[in-house]
Amino acid sequence: MTKKRRPTQLRETSIQRGYPTAAAGSVLITMGQTRVLCTASISSSPPPWLPKDPDTGEFTRGWVTGEYSMLPGSTPDRKRRGPDSRSTEIQRLIGRALRAAVDLEKMPGVMITCDCDVLCADGGTRTAAITGAFVALSDAISHAMSEGLIRENPITNHVAAISVGVIDSTNHLDLDYPLDSNAEVDMNVVMNGKGKFIEIQGTGEQGVFDREQLNGLLDLATKGIKQLIQMQKKALKTTLGSCK
């Protein structure tokens, strides 16, 4: 059903901001058939383990965390509900990626949870989740600032992610499920708006790779992430509507 695309091309991507939920930030990101609903909720009570100033008793930092889940209908064989080891690993990655985008000391006592629920899974759900959740997080932070919970904008940089891989000895950008299933090497790359790496996770699923292949894949990822960050910026300029 997808149009034929070149190995170096992103799938058709849209970032729908203000998708109607009850969360402070809410984004539906679509990359080809992959669709992830990213909501960012501000916790009503700060977590007890956040560090406090011993003198004033006030919190000195905030926290950003991620959760990842696939809806049962997101896969052709119904996905059973509940956490599994794969989703545990993915949500740890999402949390680390998002925290790299904020200065936690500028949001003392505020905890934001970014929930990434996959509505349709066709490869690249974890990277789409990061790219979408950054936008939802931005909106939740704006909301917290408008409510007076945060004074100064803690966002230090954009964060986006993409998968790359080697299929039949060719480097590919943005793997959908059929590509991913046949990849000799599979790599998820998270970068910021200045072109620096935040996270690289490369696996030789059905093969191994050398430095040259690594470099080719990183070039491709860098290019793709630049485009995604452009889309994030564009989305963040639109006006919002929500079900709140």
User: Are the CB atoms for 96 and 14 separated by under 8 Å?
Assistant: no
CB atoms within 10 A of CB 54: 7
Q: Report the distance separating Cα 14 and Cα 93, nearest Å.
A: 22
| Interacting residue with a second copy among 12, 78, 168, 178 (CB under 8 A) | 78
Q: Distance (Å, rounded) from C-alpha 64 to C-alpha 87? A: 17
Segment interacting with a second copy, rule: CB under 8 A, options 125-133, 161-169, 210-218, 223-231: 210-218
Among 12, 14, 53, 88, binds a second copy (CB under 8 A): 88
How many whole angstroms separate alpha carbon 172 and alpha carbon 168? 10
Query: Taking a C-beta distance cutoff of 8 angstroms, is the pair 179, 121 a contact?
Result: no
Segment 117 to 136, residues that bind a second copy, using CB under 8 A: 117, 119-122
Q: Is 234 in the site for a second copy (CB under 8 A)?
A: no
Place of tokens 């956040």: 50
Stretch that binds a second copy, among 113-121, 146-154, 164-172, 231-239 (CB under 8 A): 113-121
Instruction: Indicate whether 176 belongs to the interface with a second copy (CB under 8 A).
Output: no
Instruction: Note whether 50 binds a second copy by CB under 8 A.
Output: no
CB of 78 to a second copy, least distance (A): 4
Pick the piece of the chain touching a second copy (CB under 8 A) from 9-17, 48-56, 166-174, 208-216: 208-216
Binding segment toward a second copy, per CB under 8 A, in 9-17, 125-133, 164-172, 193-201: 193-201
Amino acid identity of residue 222, one-letter, is: T
Return the range that interacts with a second copy (CB under 8 A); candidates 19-27, 144-152, 223-231, 232-240: 19-27
Q: What is the closest distance, in whole angstroms, from the C-beta atom of residue 138 to a second copy in the complex?
A: 15
Amino acid code (one letter) for 124: G
Pairing of strands 185-192, 159-167: antiparallel
Spatial CA neighbour of 42 closest among 91, 87, 107: 107
Q: In degrees rounded to 5, what are phi and psi of residue 236?
A: -70, -10
Q: Which two tokens stand for residue 169?
A: 């000895």
What is the bridge-based pairing of β-strands 111-120 and 63-70? parallel
Nearer to a second copy, 213 or 232 (CB): 213
Which residues form the interface with a second copy (CB under 8 A)?
Answer: 1, 20-23, 26, 33, 35, 37, 39-41, 43-44, 67, 69, 71-78, 81-83, 85-86, 88-89, 91-92, 96, 100, 113, 115, 117, 119-122, 187, 192, 194-205, 208-211, 214-215, 218, 243-244
